[in-house]
């Protein structure tokens, strides 16, 4: 049997708290040989890009994967800089202002090339082999499209967390954070990406999965450096319990990406055990065309879905609508360093 190569993955992130656990999940799959994380690119969002750089490096250091290169990306939105109003959900440093021990300066550990040039370079080097997983505002991706319109046609797939399906916002009354943080970039990416985007929207994160805080505590009881870090940076959020249940967002997008990679690898004749019998994480999804509202006084940043196909546009999204929750819990356990 010919051994098939696993997908090469680039993670584009604004590394706040949910990004951290999502990245730990991806790195666990990387160590298991299910995917190969070839780079992490950073972008503004949950915090300033300089904090994001530090956070990503801390994540990699926690699991002894400092050999994975990190590239600093866009520090501001494409057109209108995003300014946080009120308390920042992930803290000013993106890691819950947990007063963590110092790590070496990011400037000494980051790769010198800008994230956007890296995206273009790697996709040209490995055409149709790279899975891009976008966990933050889509500024880097939009810039790559502006520099090279065919950029996305050379990707194997693109997974993203962002947008909303029912006009339910988590930052404004109508918009999800990653999209409202840079609506122009979200619109560019949705309308000009040349392959379908596997999108995890806010509403699926909010009410499509039910994970009680008690289960989060049980996962946090696993003893290792991952849970030690996650418990520290998530402490304030877990104490306040903003929602009825523990909400996961970027983790869902990464679990979807890994699950698809494993199942595809198994179907193509990969090694036994890589996806065999696991089943599909995403139970139902919706294929449709959607764009992003830019001019509404109340709806700027809202994802506008053409539910009735009145725009007569080719579907650009595959939207997660429901999942196998028990399988997802296994992915969360893996992210925390437990046995899958």
* DSSP secondary structure string for all residues of 110-128: SBSS-HHHHHHHHHHHSTT
How many CA atoms does the CB half-sphere of 175 hold within 13 Å? 23
Structure tokens at 33: 């040989």
Measured distance CA(338)–CA(222) in Å, rounded? 7
- Which residues lie across from 11 on neighbouring strands? 40, 133
Instruction: Supply the pLDDT for residue 266.
Output: 73
- % of the chain residues with pLDDT over 90: 87
3-state secondary structure of 54: helix
> Do 334 and 25 meet the contact criterion of CB atoms below 8 Å apart?
yes
> Do 94 and 237 meet the contact criterion of CB atoms below 8 Å apart?
no
Measured distance CA(286)–CA(278) in Å, rounded? 22
Nearest to 122, CA basis, from 99, 97, 148: 148
Using 50, 70 and 90 to split pLDDT, how confident is the model at 84? confident
Write out the H or E segment, with its range, that includes residue 183.
helix 183-192
What domains can be seen in the chain, in order of their start residue? 8-335 (3.90.245.10)
Sign of the alpha-carbon dihedral angle for 254, 259, 262, 267: negative
Residue range 127-169, pLDDT digits in tens: 999 999 999 999 999 999 999 999 999 999 999 999 999 999 9
Structure tokens at 272: 């036994």
Query: Average pLDDT, stretch 92-108?
Result: 91
Is the pLDDT assigned to residue 273 strictly greater than 70?
no
Instruction: Supply the pLDDT for residue 332.
Output: 98
Residues near 197 by beta carbon (within 8 Å), at least 6 away in sequence: 158, 159, 160, 189, 190, 316, 317, 318
Using 50, 70 and 90 to split pLDDT, how confident is the model at 3? low
Instruction: Supply the pLDDT for residue 272.
Output: 43
Least confident of 9-23, 65-79, 96-110, 120-134: 96-110
Instruction: Supply the pLDDT for residue 137.
Output: 98
3-state secondary structure of 131: strand
> Do 193 and 316 meet the contact criterion of CB atoms below 8 Å apart?
yes
- The conformation of residue 268, written as its DSSP 8-state character, comes to T
Query: Average pLDDT, stretch 263-288?
Result: 75
Measured distance CA(142)–CA(306) in Å, rounded? 22
Packing angle of the helix pair 17-31, 250-267 (nearest 10 deg): 20
Instruction: Supply the pLDDT for residue 156.
Output: 98
Is the pLDDT assigned to residue 39 strictly greater than 50?
yes
Nearest to 336, CA basis, from 225, 227, 218: 227
Is the pLDDT assigned to residue 296 strictly greater than 90?
yes
Instruction: Supply the pLDDT for residue 104.
Output: 87
Q: In what order do the strands lie in the sheet with 282-288?
A: 70-71, 36-42, 8-13, 130-134, 157-161, 197-200, 317-323, 282-288
Sign of the alpha-carbon dihedral angle for 268, 272, 276, 278: negative
Is the pLDDT assigned to residue 229 strictly greater than 50?
yes
Cα dist. 160→20, 92, 134, 286 in Å? Answer: 15, 24, 5, 15
In the chain, count H helices and then E strands.
12, 10
Is the pLDDT assigned to residue 269 strictly greater than 70?
no
Residue range 169-220, pLDDT digits in tens: 999 999 999 999 999 999 999 999 999 999 999 999 999 999 999 999 999 9
Using 50, 70 and 90 to split pLDDT, how confident is the model at 89? confident
Cα angle 128, 12, 136; round to 5: 130
Mean pLDDT comparison of 181-190, 264-273, 277-286, highest-scoring range: 181-190
């Amino acid at each position: 049997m010919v051994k098939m190569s696993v997908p090469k993955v680039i993670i584009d992130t604004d590394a706040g708290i949910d990004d951290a656990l999502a990245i730990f999940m991806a790195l666990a799959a990387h160590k298991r040989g299910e995917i190969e994380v070839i780079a992490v690119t950073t972008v503004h969002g949950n915090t300033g890009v300089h904090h994001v750089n530090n956070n990503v490096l801390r994540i990699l250091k926690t699991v002894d994967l400092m050999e994975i290169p990190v590239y600093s990306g866009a520090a501001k939105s494409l057109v209108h800089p995003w300014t946080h109003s009120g308390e920042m959900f992930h803290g000013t440093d993106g890691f819950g202002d947990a007063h963590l021990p110092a790590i070496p300066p990011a400037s000494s550990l980051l790769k010198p090339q800008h994230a956007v040039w890296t995206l273009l370079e790697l996709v040209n080097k490995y055409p149709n082999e790279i899975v891009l997983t976008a966990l933050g505002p889509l500024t880097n991706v939009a810039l790559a499209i502006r520099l090279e319109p065919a950029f996305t046609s050379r990707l194997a797939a693109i997974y993203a967390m962002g947008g909303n399906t029912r006009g339910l916002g988590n930052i404004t009354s109508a918009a999800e954070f990653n999209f409202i943080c840079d609506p122009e970039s979200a619109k560019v990416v949705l309308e000009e990406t040349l392959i379908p985007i596997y999108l995890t929207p806010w509403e699926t994160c909010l009410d499509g999965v039910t994970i009680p805080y008690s289960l989060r505590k049980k996962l946090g009881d696993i003893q290792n450096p991952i849970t030690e870090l996650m418990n520290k940076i998530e402490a304030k959020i877990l104490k306040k319990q903003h929602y009825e249940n523990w909400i996961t967002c970027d983790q869902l997008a990464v679990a979807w990406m890994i699950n698809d990679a494993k199942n595809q690898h198994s179907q193509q004749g990969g090694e036994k055990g890589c996806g065999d019998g696991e089943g599909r994480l995403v139970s139902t999804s919706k294929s449709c065309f959607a764009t992003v509202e830019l001019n509404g006084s109340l709806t700027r940043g809202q994802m506008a879905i053409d539910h009735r196909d009145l725009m007569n546009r080719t579907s650009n999204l595959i939207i997660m609508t429901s999942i196998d929750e028990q399988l997802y819990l296994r992915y969360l356990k893996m992210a925390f360093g437990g046995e899958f």
